[in-house]
Structure 1
Amino acid sequence: MQISQTLVRQTILILLACAVVLSGCSRMNLAYRNLDLLIPWSLNDYLDMNRDQRTRFREQLREHISWHCRTQLPGYLDLIEQLQAQVRQGSLDEPALREHYETVQKAIQTIALEITPTTVQLLRDLDDRQVEELDEQFERDRQEREDKYLKPPLDQQIDKRTSRMQERVEQWLGKVTAAQRQRIHEWAEALNEQNQLWLDNRAQWQRSMVDAVRNRDQANFDERIARLLQDREVYWTAPYRAAFPTVEQATIDLIVDLYATADATQRRHIDQRLQDMRRDLGSLDCLPATAD
């Protein structure tokens, strides 16, 4: 599934997402402890902040990370424990996976709500030069992704989509079987021209963001940014909106099928990954004492 159509997801949320279920981070606590150092580097890919902006952003970011660790991570630990129990019991079916997926979506929305005021203020304080640089960075981002994801012929796009998904799956299952590789390829074929839909959708959101920031002196600026961060579906293109439910279900079906065909060794691999996540996240000092 494609993740993130917003500036926050491209920066803050992508890094915070390393702390949620089904992340690919190998050392969760190390990544989490250094988010306040890592996120500004990511943000600098899009914004060249001045010293005052960087200082204020770092202070606000530390507060957000502290809030997230104290109030959100305990729920993630409970979710990981529940997932682990379902893996051990062999009860991780389609309804259970969809429930976990919806929980993660709600967690992302909670983060978006929390950081909206900080993001609004940061964008409001940009000068005209920074706004134009933001637009130029978005344009470079679009061009780089088009070169990577759209220039290859469709069959190559599908092959690369297969390889990317297989790599993610093997982080959880270990080495996949021939039948599992074939199932992943079938999923990649079914998504067909999803790269085009995804990139068109991403570009539409970016254009909407730049337009809002260019008009940051208008009375409705706060509301426009809040909608861009919190109600991203409003800005989806019609083709992406039409395709999304099918892509979402196809990906959930893929996970269900891969889990159903996992052998005992692969299920132990999943269990160990979840155990490692619980250990790493559970060791964070900011967690309430009752979370242990």
Structure 2
Amino acid sequence: MSRWFKHIAVVLTITLALGACSRVGLAYRNLDVIIPWTLSDYLDMNGEQKSWLDERLKEHLSWHCTTQLPGYLDWLDRLQTMIATNQVSDAALQSRTHEAEQAIAETAREITPSAIELLQGLDDKQVAEMNEAFAKDQRKRQEVYLKPSLDQQIKERGERMEKRLNDWLGPLSTNQRQRVTTWSSALGDQNTQWIANRAHWQKQFSAAVAQRQSPQFPQRIETLLVNRESLWTPAYRQAFADTEAQARSLFVDLMADSTPNQRARLLKKIEGVRKDFSDLKCLKTAKQG
């Protein structure tokens, strides 16, 4: 799943992922912002493959806009209502998270056949390049997230979270900043579990692609892309559950300690994302149809 689940209150997963660009319209033209995986970062595709993929992406975006976006708007409505009525609880956040995970999985299922077809058409050189890109990705993340001491990892994690929260809530109070520090400390060496599991998934993906002409390949890729949690290591499964619980607890506490101005800013930011969705041409066309 997206790295958002590790770094930001779970309730904002889709909102933040889709609002990462200055305009949702820009983000929406990049399908990898919407879905939990991307191939373009790891594959050097030839012209024919790029043209084929561009056409597929147009089809997938059209499907996504007409069938999925209305549900996103409803989800954002529930999110806004929860905040506006001061009903931010652990149970409510679990519900919003489950809904977000279902939405991501549904999109992953839709695009998986295209991924399978693309992967089956790779030559050996492209596969070797993909594997090297995976290795480079692992080295880079180990350098950034594991090389610093544990104390430094905790400090940097807290700083990243505070920076994101400042954007969505405005300046944090002393108590809120302390709560972020406590949250980051509670996660401990979570970076180790996250990166180990990422490497575990990439290794299985590479092994599957090496056998891309086998009859079992489509099912294997579907598992890797749609049901990737089923392949998690036991250690990471527990770590992920703990991380989500810590994120929910953080957000509940931050909201309980928030000012009217902070809540108003958060609602305004979410409304901005909602408006960008509503203004998308494809959605308007679908409503008129």
State whether TM-score is above 0.5. Answer: yes
Percent same amino acid among aligned pairs? 40
Displacement, 1:131? 0.5
1:237 aligns with 2:233: yes
Residue 25 of structure 2 corresponds to residue 30 of structure 1 = yes
> In structure 2, what is the equivalent of residue 102 of structure 1?
98
Q: Which residue of 2 aligns with 1:61?
A: 57
- Cα distance in 2 for partners of 1:198, 1:26 equals 25
Instruction: Please say if 1:225 is aligned against 2:221.
Output: yes
| 1:3 corresponding residue in structure 2 | 3
Distance 1:55 1:187 in 2: 45
**Cα deviation 1:135-186 (Å, max 9, x = unaligned):** 0000000000000000000000000100111112122111111111111111
Matched, 1:89 2:89: no
For residues 19 and 284 of structure 1, the distance between their equivalents in structure 2, rounded to whole angstroms, comes to 20
Q: Following superposition of structure 1 onto structure 2, how do residues 79-228 of structure 1 map, counting pairs within 5 Å?
A: 79-228=75-224
- Distance, in Å, in 2 between the alignment partners of 1:33 and 1:96 is 27
Q: Deviations over 1:197-240 (max 9, x none)?
A: 00000000001001110111211011111110111112212211
SS at match of 1:126: coil
Residues in 2 aligned to 1:285 and 1:22: alpha-carbon distance in whole angstroms: 21
Give the count of matched residue pairs: 278
Match of 2:248 among 252, 273, 276: 252
Root mean square deviation, CA, Å: 2.4
Using the TM superposition, give the Cα deviation of residue 34 of structure 1 relative to its aligned residue in structure 2, in angstroms.
2.9
* Alignment-mate amino acid for residue 202 of structure 2: Q
Trace 1:5-20 onto structure 2 (pairs within 5 A).
Answer: 20=14
Write the letter of the residue equivalent to 1:3: R
Give the stretch that moved more between structures: 266-275 or 238-247: 238-247
In the alignment, the residues of structure 2 paired with residue 52 and residue 33 of structure 1 have an alpha-carbon distance, to the nearest angstrom, of 23
Mark the runs of 5 or more structure 2 residues left unpaired by the alignment.
Answer: 6-11
CA contact (8 A) 1:21 1:79 kept: no
Do the aligned residues in 2 keep the contact of 1:74 with 1:291 (CA within 8 Å)? no
* Contact 1:28–1:281 (CA under 8 A) maintained in structure 2: no
CA distance in 2, matches of 1:122, 1:20: 26
User: TM-score, structure 2 length as denominator?
Assistant: 0.90
| 1:77 pairs with one of 73, 76, 87 | 73
Q: Which deviates the most, 22-31 or 70-79?
A: 22-31
* Aligned 8 A contact 1:19 1:281 in 2: no
In 1, Cα distance between the equivalents of 2:2 and 2:105?
16
